Structure 1
Amino acid sequence: MTRIDAKFAALKAEGKKAFVAYIMAGDPDLETSLELMKGMPGAGVDVIELGLPFTDPMADGPTIQAAGQRALDGGQTLQKTLDMARAFRETDTTTPIVLMGYYNPIYNRGVDRFLQDAREAGIDGLIVVDLPPEEDAELCIPARAAGLNFIRLATPTTDDKRLPRVLQNTSGFVYYVSVTGITGGQAAQAGEVGPEVARIKAATDLPVIVGFGITTPDAARTIASVADGCVVGSAIVKLVGEGRPVPEILTQIAALAAGAHSA
């Protein structure tokens, strides 16, 4: 059982919904992002999504694209991102970390070496948005063999014919993208999301977490109420980009987490 599995089992036992929060590693610099990461569990974050900056983030909107560019400009690398996770693990051995990004940096390091390094750094799961199920042998299956969850995205265009393929080797949880398009776009609507979550849950025992288009505590509560939890990314990254101090960002994160937990 991974930390992700354990966290969702504990939340289920408590009758609580999960709050998942995304930050970009190295944004605006390594020290600030690590300080923010270390403060997230105390603000109510159940699972941390740690963004791996990449030069061509095709699934991300302007807010997260800009964050990735700030991180790259500051010298953030895959190694520094793993080092960041390792530093976090010095004081927190229970909060799950999901590394979210694109395949190119992983491929460049070599899959076997990357998986070993990721495990040793304390990474629990991977979301690699540009590897479809047809490429599972590339990373997904080796990751699971190495003890890492491989989390797959389902979208409004994932129909009943496609869904079993998407779910086939997925573990940890299913990330349902509530709106078509890129991150930071239109607001998620519970009336549209609810039936889709129910359709996915009918096909898997995994928790279904909803992301994209969630920017306020009310939205977090509303969306979490029709799923097993929610993800907030761009709304947090926007605060970082505005240069807000870490305590202020953590206060905003705590309000979002409280919204999700009240669902």
Structure 2
Amino acid sequence: MKNFILTVFSLVFFAASIFAQSGVEVTYLQKTNPRPNQPNGDFFSTDYYAQLVSNGVESTYRFGQGGEGKQVFRGDNNSVKIIYSDARGYVFYRNQDDKSIVSRDMIKDQPFIIKEDIPQISWEIKEETKEIGGYQCQLAVTTFRGRVYDAWFAQEIPLNVGPWKLGGLPGLILEAKARDGMIQFIFAGLKQVDPATIAWNKAPRNGMNISFEGFFDTRVRKDEEWVKKISAHPGVTVRPAKKKSYFEIAK
């Protein structure tokens, strides 16, 4: 029995060393829905396959690249969904050495480059465990930027990062879901890579430089201006989503 335990420990330690010395690329199915559990809610859902590349020091999460600008979708009952993306997409680069995150995000069709300190996320680690993609994962819960998240992390992959800006756990986050149903990051695959060979694993450019606070306030203001402008048209009724379609609803 001791030999078996030692063998298992050695295998786990070996796997952890491999991941720490090289790097990983994780694929997530990112699902967003500002109107979950509402009539016609599925129409407003948007799915992307997103990638995270990390070597423990530098990490980049991206989605929506290769887009075609503004896309308008029309559904039942005069429902309209508008998606903005471009060739570079949405990018979130984390550097552990200088403790910063540089993001490329968009307000309508205008890209912004936002630099901020890595957020200090306070996690409550639970006893619940489950297997995801062959990895034993443990549950952790946090409130981050206005939403409560349940995240599942794998200690055998010693990277303290995850999808989007989530991180700070003693293992890679393989799954995370907001309890309000707006955002889900679902594990879809993992492979070893050399992050140095990934051309997009770097701080994004090509956008207007702005602070996180400035970006947050600008987005709220633009949202309100858009609703007011559309509502001014005769016969048009705007019903804003009860849950904002952007990830951060609090600073």
- Pairwise TM-score range, normalised by the shorter structure: under 0.3
Higher relative contact order (CA 8 A, sep 6+): 1
Q: TM-score, normalised by structure 2?
A: 0.27
Q: TM-score, normalised by structure 1?
A: 0.26
Larger Cα-atom Rg: 2
Q: Hey, which of these two has a bigger chunk of strand by percent?
A: 2
